[in-house]
Structure 1
Amino acid sequence: MLSVALILWVLRVPVTTTLLGWLLLCFAPQAQDLFTEYLDVVMWLRMLLFVVVLTVFWALPTHYAARMLVNSDSRLPANGGPCLAGAALWLPRLLGLLTFVAVEAAILRSYMNIPTLDQQREVVRPVEQALLAMAGWVALGAVAYLLWIFFRPRDLRPRGLLGRINAKLGWFWQAISPGRKSGSADEEGRDFGRLILAAVFAIFAGIFFVGADHVAGWFPRSMAIPFILGGWLPFLTYLSGLGRQIRAPLITGLAVLVAIVAVVFGDNHTVRRVASKDVVPIKIEDAIDLWMTENGCNPKTSNNAPAASCPRPIIVAAAGGASRAGFMMASMIGYFLDTQEADYYGVKGLSSKDVRNRLFSISGVSGGAMGAVMVTAALGAASPAADKQPCVNAVAVDQWWGDKVNNWRDCLEALTSGDFLTAGFLGFAFNDALPFTLRDRAAVLEDSWRNRFGDVVPKAKEDAKTLGCGGLDCPFLSLRPQPGHWIPLLVLNGTSEAIGRRILTTPLAMSYAPPGKCPTAVTNGPCPLFVEADSFHQLLRTEIASESWREWLGMFGRLLYGNPQANDIRLSTAALNSARFPLISPPGSVRNQEYRLVDRIVDGGYFENYGTLTARELALAIHTIAPQLKPLVIVISNDPDDQLGPTDDVANDPQVPPRPTATAGEVLSEVSAPITTVFNLRTAHGVQAVDALRTGLHATIPECDKLVIQLRISRDGNKSLSMSWWESPLVQRRIHRQTESDPDTNYAREHNQNLPRLKAIWQEMQSSSCRAS
């Protein structure tokens, strides 16, 4: 046992990367359905490519790196006995083999969590067959690896040009390789292994200088994991081996050095800013006036328009949950924009423009904020009549489950179905290793949203060429409703690191003067629209007092990146303000126009994961300013297992998720319990806010029986639904089917509890006033 422990300590770098690969593939929610994308002939070729990448960039480098560390460690005597010799021989081989086993376990995980769909023959079965085929390819790769390890010629030397290069590099390997014995025949053979490891790292580093966005296209999703883990391995192995020779913690020292340089130069986690002319916030009174005008019921603009004829303003609260949340939110909004769906419920006469004009605002959190920005930008890019969606028409869109884009729902789903996972993961593994130079992983994620929007909405690229602004590149405050073209007002929920309350990215002013009593605070002054919340754009204008000795910290960042004219952010950055979940995205440094740190913004789910507290305040303000308006709040949840109360304002027989229990294991509960509690609090606070929303609105508007309606995803037995910045086409299909309108099918009865709620929403959209309770 001591021999094995000693060898494992020597091999701590390859052991760590192998363990990290197991954790990512077998336990990370983001990897649950990575292997469900291999379906057609082209995907079969990608299966082979994946096995090649797995073998060349992860398995073999793991084995070679482990062998190099064992052979170069002076603490392992050559005659240390059979146990030590056996461990030194077999552990490197086992580590390389475990990379294949980890992938097989991940494939099994994908197979066990295939969502339940009623298209068994045409959709589910091909995926099951593809997963089995993929498992076979990986097994063949493992066999090839073992054959090479056991039966390769021990005196293998490269020939030709490669052999000459390797021979001439002997002096170089002698100079830099820890523990290399000059003139040894064994060492000359091992030089070839050193050459392979150096070539792997050179290719890895060279490719990354092209940019994480491009690399994500070459090594998407499943291929990114072996590429990253094996790519860094040669460099870290070298530092580990050299550190043992000179008795210095080089890896730790390098990490400390990078941290010190980041302090001096400033890290790359600053929220990126742009200059904008539209920086005057919108008063909510003016927004309500414009909304009423666009709905043809504003007495100030039309003498014949009674205020009581106004439709119900709709506020959407979109919960967090990465791409699953964004896709769910976009799919539901698209469902209502395609008004032919209303015919099933006997609601007629509504147009897409009618539905768009009824959407007063969207309160988004995390992935729901990303979906809100995509939806609102698409509505802004469409014609004022909203009769035609702006996306690519009648063509297939990569990563989306559908065949071609035909309507609004197709368009909005296609926008939110892109691969936003790979670029962010690559940014985490490479860009953030040098946090004072390249874009950080948050900026890479943000840019992947912008690229997706530009690919799916061609008009965005045209506008970028002619106006200097296109799609999600536009300044946030420029995306606002205009006379003749109403779009919903965005309120994107973030959380402050400094004081823990909400930071809201919104074009709305933070206070107003109600005609009566302020519904949110006891005050003699302006009524706060949002209680105990900061405006992100006001933080950009906050002045920071001089801090003497701390003035020099980040001073190079101020010189390089400071821009006093940068008073706004891009639309994509605004979405990111709400979607900075731990580890996935770093906290965003909010800096004023002098580039001094004001606060850090983190994921809105830290405070409350549904955005319903913000929706409640908006609804109360609308009703206070215009009492004839009776807002309807639609809460869009995307987690089948959350504890959101099944009771809302629609009578039905909902599925009640069972209350989960604490994890039975007691390993490291002192560490795991606080982390798990903080993670679950984000949803618990959201559930409580939904209940407070319903209670508060019914107390204020007692004449309405429908004020809050929930839309959510039904549970799928014991299967969990993947949550990641990439959702597989199977998960997209299941979310899309949450509006299945045929109650006579078993699938609709068992996997859709939204039917009565959808009917109620259509009826409330058509009505000019809410019905009495």
Structure 2
Amino acid sequence: MKIEPVNTEFGLKRTLVTPGASYLLGRIWGRILDFGLILWVVRVPLASVVLGLLLMAAVTPAQDVTLDVAMAGAPVGAAAGLSRAMIALLAAVFLLWAMPVHYAARLLLETDEGIAAVLARRSAAAVAGGRKTDFIFCQMLRHVPRLLGALTFVAFAIGAMKAVDNLPTLADRPAMAAARDQLVLLSWTMLAGAPAFYAYTLLRGLVTDHGPLKGFDAALGRRLAGIFAMLGIAPRPDDPEAELHATGRLVLLAYALLVIVVLAASPHWLAQRLPLAFAVPLILGGWVPILSYLSSVGRRFHVPILTGIFLAGAIGTYLFGDNHAVRTLTATEPAHRRTSLLPAVKLWMRANGCAEEPSSCPRPVIIAAAGGASRAGFFTASVIGHFLDFEKHKTAFSFTRADGSKINRAARDDGRFTPQIEQALNGKDMATRIFAISGVSGGSYGAAVVAAALAARTGAAAPCPDKTPEGWFGGTVAGWRDCLETMTAGDYLTATFFGLAFHDQVQLFLSDRAALLEQSWEQNFARHVRAADGKAAPDSAERLAAPFLGTPRDPERWVPFLILNGTSVETGQRIITTDLLPTYAANGRCPSGGPNAECALFTHAIDFHGLVRSDLDVRLSTAATNSARFPVISPPGSIYQVDTDVVDRIVDGGYFENFGVESALELAEAMVEVEPRLAPFILVISNDPASVLTEERTARSSSGVVVPDAPDQAALTEATGPIGAIGAVRSGRGRLAVATATHWLDARFGTRCGANLVQIRVWPEAVKDGHCPVGQATPEKVRDVSMSWWLSKPVQMNLHEQLEPTADRCNNANAVTAVWAALATPSRACIGGTP
């Protein structure tokens, strides 16, 4: 072979390639084509591995599930060390993902006619050249399945290392260091699984090809030969080594059938036994045998079966509908006796003992709970619980974490309320101060749990057991905040993703992932309340599963009204699920326009119960899901007016406005219209750290407009631009609603009684070292906070610490102080003493 430069007539040079070089390039290209053919044949196992690698490398909630294994369910501050949970995860990846991927890939290669034809040609050419076989092609066939199986362990190693970068800054430094060490150890453990699995695939023949196992496999192969032949998975006649034994084929077949049966029968049962990280191998490996088999049948008959199944499913869903209907139940009286606004206000005044003199009433608190899946639900519950624990905050106390460490709290909530405020609030039930909660997405879930827990209480005690439940970062449950945090710290992700990966791909009679999410909420709440040993009210354990409108309003045990905000797919307006009537009679001007006698409580909003039959209601959990249908996690919910008539589809309320403040403001406007002697106060509970930086930069701008700072380079802007805008506008509309509400409240009440709207936030942390980036001249990249239906213990700790005073600007100390002041302020102070 020789390559020489040759002069052209213009003095330019070109390269002349001799036939030897052409032959070499042809051989290389031929090997590339061979490798491409092998990857195409094993495309289903390959897709499973690639999806797992991308998931663990790029998706924060997927990375965070490794933290649950790293901490091994042990105290958050435990010293690093190899645990049984790590070994169990290694085994789960081996059995549920690596083995199916490896075996399915081998089966595809051994039964594929195209591969057999290529191998025959290569072998014939090799024999003609004096060799026994085509060594390189045979090695590709042997090692590609082994590499795919080994890469499953690499995916988890990547996820664990990425989870280190996601760790929040915690006041408890030992706990943070332990979490980091455990994640690094888990990463190395999973990485070690790759060569161990590869070695297993090389050495297994020493066991299976000799002695009793070989005889057993041969006998099994003879008995099942007919079934294997019928299914098209019989060994090839030209496969002298018969590497995929009858036992392997049978195990692969049994695995596929078991996955279908168990997941169809009881996904919640399986979720309890394979939670979080342990579920990922099953989710990624469960479909591999079935889809691999279908792809092999398609190649055999030259029919795109997988594409055909996808198209048939899409057409079938279009013709016959999907399984994404909003769950309803038949309502019984007085389920549909929703409360009109004026009677609702009077009930609230009775609960606060001021019905005879409205101006002496405390300020009605309307809470706006922003979206953000479990992060929002946990933070909403934690913040509300903090203020429900007024009696606990009056004296100094210690909070014990699960690792035994203690946090000491000074009296009067670290001095954030004064002796005067303490005197004003003594003997008061803080729950009665809350008139309503306007929730979006995860904030709606948090609102539903708060309402259900308040309905379950007897007296002032929280309906939770003293024993620490699994999954919560704290120690002994003592008070409302602890109770509500434990209720929202459950694993709702596993069952939901089983639904996404399996139920919603099959549909038919199976519950969809939204229903599985709701049932997870219901079961977790019921477990907590039942474990409270009689502290809760009768039947209260089933409150989340009970009809939304089925509980009569009782001023003696006050429960806030709920305004749960979803979005209409058809109109883009809000669809609001609420226990308040959608219209009321205004005394004067109707804030939303229209006739005074039928003033709309919420402007241009659709009343959910007005869309369904009058004899139907939804469970409280479903009412929350009506607001929490974010893409991928939950599907759009079909609202049926009659059995076959879909009147609309409902998606996450964050599409319209992610803070819930717009509905809270409209409720405040309507409240002062029916009772002008009241002065509503709005508490906004947000949890988007990136949005805080935008707010802060807007506040610093002299024009009141933030100056954007987009990256200079962006990939695929035609796709990423619209998607990014949809994501950003969720918080943008929320910030606009906060500004509008602040303006209206200040115009109405001025500054006579302090703040009229307070926002408690989850503050950002810089990626570099976790410092507070607020106030920096140049915007910094901030850490992602996991947003899924599960929270790791460090994330829980980080959210809990948001209410603790800190030395930097990233703290809610002033906001907490303002809320205590608002809770102790009578309405008359805001309206100038007007009777």
Q: TM-score, normalised by structure 2?
A: 0.82
Query: Given that residues 58 and 226 in structure 1 are in contact (C-alpha distance below 8 angstroms), is that contact kept between their aligned partners in structure 2?
Result: yes
Would you say 1:391 and 2:464 are equivalent positions? Answer: yes
Instruction: For residue 583 of structure 1, give the secondary structure of its aligned residue in structure 2.
Output: coil
Would you say 1:348 and 2:422 are equivalent positions? Answer: yes
Q: Relative to 1, partners in 2 of residues 1:41 and 1:132: Cα closer, same or farther, differing over 3 Å? A: same
Would you say 1:584 and 2:633 are equivalent positions? Answer: yes
Task: Show the counterpart of 2:441.
Answer: 366
Q: Aligned to 2:189, which of 137, 145, 150?
A: 137
Name the amino acid aligned to 2:803.
Answer: T
What are the equivalent positions in structure 2 for 1:728-739 lying under 5 Å apart? 728-739=792-803
Task: Show the counterpart of 1:754.
Answer: 812
Q: Relative to 1, partners in 2 of residues 1:458 and 1:467: Cα closer, same or farther, differing over 3 Å? A: closer
Instruction: For residue 710 of structure 1, give the secondary structure of its aligned residue in structure 2.
Output: strand
Task: Show the counterpart of 1:212.
Answer: 267
Would you say 1:488 and 2:560 are equivalent positions? Answer: yes
Q: What is the distance in 1 between the residues matched to 2:496 and 2:65?
A: 15
Task: Show the counterpart of 1:721.
Answer: 785
Name the amino acid aligned to 2:290.
Answer: F
Q: What is the distance in 2 between the residues matched to 1:539 and 1:150?
A: 62
Task: Show the counterpart of 2:29.
Answer: none
Q: Aligned to 1:698, which of 746, 756, 780?
A: 746
Q: What is the distance in 2 between the residues matched to 1:162 and 1:257?
A: 39
Q: What is the distance in 2 between the residues matched to 1:717 and 1:256?
A: 45
Q: Relative to 1, partners in 2 of residues 1:189 and 1:596: Cα closer, same or farther, differing over 3 Å? A: closer
Q: Aligned to 2:572, which of 481, 500, 503?
A: 500
Would you say 1:62 and 2:101 are equivalent positions? Answer: yes
Instruction: For residue 75 of structure 1, give the secondary structure of its aligned residue in structure 2.
Output: helix
Would you say 1:21 and 2:52 are equivalent positions? Answer: yes
Q: Tell which deviates more after alignment, 107-116 or 61-70.
A: 61-70
The CA deviation at 1:126 is 2.5
Q: Aligned to 1:323, which of 370, 374, 389?
A: 374
Q: Relative to 1, partners in 2 of residues 1:58 and 1:665: Cα closer, same or farther, differing over 3 Å? A: farther
Q: What is the distance in 1 between the residues matched to 2:380 and 2:582?
A: 25
User: Cα deviation per residue 1:235-254 (whole Å; 9 max; x = unaligned)?
Assistant: 11111111001011111222
Name the amino acid aligned to 1:253.
Answer: G
What are the equivalent positions in structure 2 for 1:330-729 lying under 5 Å apart? 330-339=381-390, 340-341=392-393, 343=412, 344=415, 345-346=417-418, 347-349=421-423, 350=425, 353-383=428-458, 385=459, 387-392=460-465, 394-458=466-530, 470-479=542-551, 481-521=553-593, 523=595, 525-541=597-613, 565=615, 567-643=616-692, 646=695, 661-662=709-710, 666-702=714-750, 704=752, 705-718=754-767, 719-729=783-793
Query: Given that residues 264 and 510 in structure 2 are in contact (C-alpha distance below 8 angstroms), is that contact kept between their aligned partners in structure 1?
Result: no
The CA deviation at 1:266 is 3.6
Q: What is the distance in 2 between the residues matched to 1:89 and 1:56?
A: 20
Q: Relative to 1, partners in 2 of residues 1:241 and 1:154: Cα closer, same or farther, differing over 3 Å? A: farther
Q: Relative to 1, partners in 2 of residues 1:532 and 1:315: Cα closer, same or farther, differing over 3 Å? A: same
In structure 2, list runs of 5 or more residues that go unmatched. 1-31, 75-81, 123-133, 395-411, 768-782
Q: Relative to 1, partners in 2 of residues 1:396 and 1:164: Cα closer, same or farther, differing over 3 Å? A: farther
Q: Relative to 1, partners in 2 of residues 1:451 and 1:124: Cα closer, same or farther, differing over 3 Å? A: same
Q: What is the distance in 1 between the residues matched to 2:572 and 2:247?
A: 55
Q: What is the distance in 2 between the residues matched to 1:740 and 1:155?
A: 60
Q: What is the distance in 2 between the residues matched to 1:588 and 1:513?
A: 32
Task: Show the counterpart of 1:550.
Answer: none
Task: Show the counterpart of 2:8.
Answer: none
Task: Show the counterpart of 2:224.
Answer: 169
Instruction: For residue 186 of structure 1, give the secondary structure of its aligned residue in structure 2.
Output: coil
The CA deviation at 1:195 is 2.5
Q: What is the distance in 2 between the residues matched to 1:444 and 1:580?
A: 13
Q: What is the distance in 1 between the residues matched to 2:245 and 2:678?
A: 78
Instruction: For residue 317 of structure 1, give the secondary structure of its aligned residue in structure 2.
Output: strand
The CA deviation at 1:41 is 8.2
Would you say 1:127 and 2:175 are equivalent positions? Answer: no
What fraction of aligned residue pairs are identical, expressed as a percent? 38
Q: What is the distance in 1 between the residues matched to 2:533 and 2:544?
A: 10
The Cα RMSD (Å) is 2.9
The CA deviation at 1:194 is 2.0
Task: Show the counterpart of 1:236.
Answer: 291
Q: Aligned to 2:278, which of 206, 210, 223?
A: 223
Instruction: For residue 807 of structure 2, give the secondary structure of its aligned residue in structure 1.
Output: helix
Instruction: For residue 108 of structure 1, give the secondary structure of its aligned residue in structure 2.
Output: helix
User: Cα deviation per residue 1:415-434 (whole Å; 9 max; x = unaligned)?
Assistant: 10000111100111111122
Query: Given that residues 217 and 247 in structure 2 are in contact (C-alpha distance below 8 angstroms), is that contact kept between their aligned partners in structure 1?
Result: no
Query: Given that residues 492 and 574 in structure 1 are in contact (C-alpha distance below 8 angstroms), is that contact kept between their aligned partners in structure 2?
Result: yes
Q: Relative to 1, partners in 2 of residues 1:162 and 1:352: Cα closer, same or farther, differing over 3 Å? A: farther
Q: What is the distance in 1 between the residues matched to 2:208 and 2:712?
A: 52
Query: Given that residues 294 and 305 in structure 2 are in contact (C-alpha distance below 8 angstroms), is that contact kept between their aligned partners in structure 1?
Result: yes
The CA deviation at 1:86 is 4.7
Q: What is the distance in 2 between the residues matched to 1:465 and 1:307?
A: 30
Task: Show the counterpart of 2:354.
Answer: 297
User: Cα deviation per residue 1:632-668 (whole Å; 9 max; x = unaligned)?
Assistant: 10110111111576479xx999xx9997754665443
Q: What is the distance in 1 between the residues matched to 2:531 and 2:179?
A: 35
Q: Relative to 1, partners in 2 of residues 1:351 and 1:589: Cα closer, same or farther, differing over 3 Å? A: farther
> How many equivalent pairs are there?
730
Q: What is the distance in 1 between the residues matched to 2:560 and 2:282?
A: 42
Q: What is the distance in 1 between the residues matched to 2:790 and 2:707?
A: 28
Would you say 1:193 and 2:248 are equivalent positions? Answer: yes
Task: Show the counterpart of 2:201.
Answer: 149
Q: Aligned to 1:7, which of 15, 24, 38?
A: 38
User: Cα deviation per residue 1:508-564 (whole Å; 9 max; x = unaligned)?
Assistant: 11111111111222546522110001111111138xxxxxxxxxxxxxxxxxxxxxx
Q: Tell which deviates more after alignment, 756-765 or 186-195.
A: 186-195
User: Cα deviation per residue 1:355-406 (whole Å; 9 max; x = unaligned)?
Assistant: 11110100000000000000011001112x4x211111x2011111111211
Q: Tell which deviates more after alignment, 656-665 or 226-235.
A: 656-665
The CA deviation at 1:259 is 3.8
Q: What is the distance in 2 between the residues matched to 1:66 and 1:403?
A: 47
The CA deviation at 1:616 is 0.6
Q: TM-score, normalised by structure 1?
A: 0.89
Instruction: For residue 592 of structure 1, give the secondary structure of its aligned residue in structure 2.
Output: strand
Q: What is the distance in 1 between the residues matched to 2:552 and 2:217?
A: 61
Would you say 1:115 and 2:115 are equivalent positions? Answer: no
In structure 1, list runs of 5 or more residues that go unmatched. 300-305, 543-564, 742-747
Q: Relative to 1, partners in 2 of residues 1:44 and 1:437: Cα closer, same or farther, differing over 3 Å? A: same
Name the amino acid aligned to 2:729.
Answer: L
Query: Given that residues 363 and 612 in structure 1 are in contact (C-alpha distance below 8 angstroms), is that contact kept between their aligned partners in structure 2?
Result: yes
Task: Show the counterpart of 2:780.
Answer: none
Q: What is the distance in 2 between the residues matched to 1:661 and 1:445?
A: 38
Q: Tell which deviates more after alignment, 472-481 or 227-236.
A: 472-481
Instruction: For residue 364 of structure 1, give the secondary structure of its aligned residue in structure 2.
Output: strand
Q: What is the distance in 1 between the residues matched to 2:529 and 2:762?
A: 28
Q: Relative to 1, partners in 2 of residues 1:752 and 1:397: Cα closer, same or farther, differing over 3 Å? A: farther
The CA deviation at 1:258 is 3.4
Name the amino acid aligned to 2:343.
Answer: D
User: Cα deviation per residue 1:118-156 (whole Å; 9 max; x = unaligned)?
Assistant: 2112x2232223223322321332222011123332793
Instruction: For residue 500 of structure 1, give the secondary structure of its aligned residue in structure 2.
Output: coil
The CA deviation at 1:607 is 0.7
Instruction: For residue 797 of structure 2, give the secondary structure of its aligned residue in structure 1.
Output: helix
The CA deviation at 1:91 is 2.8
Query: Given that residues 328 and 617 in structure 2 are in contact (C-alpha distance below 8 angstroms), is that contact kept between their aligned partners in structure 1?
Result: yes
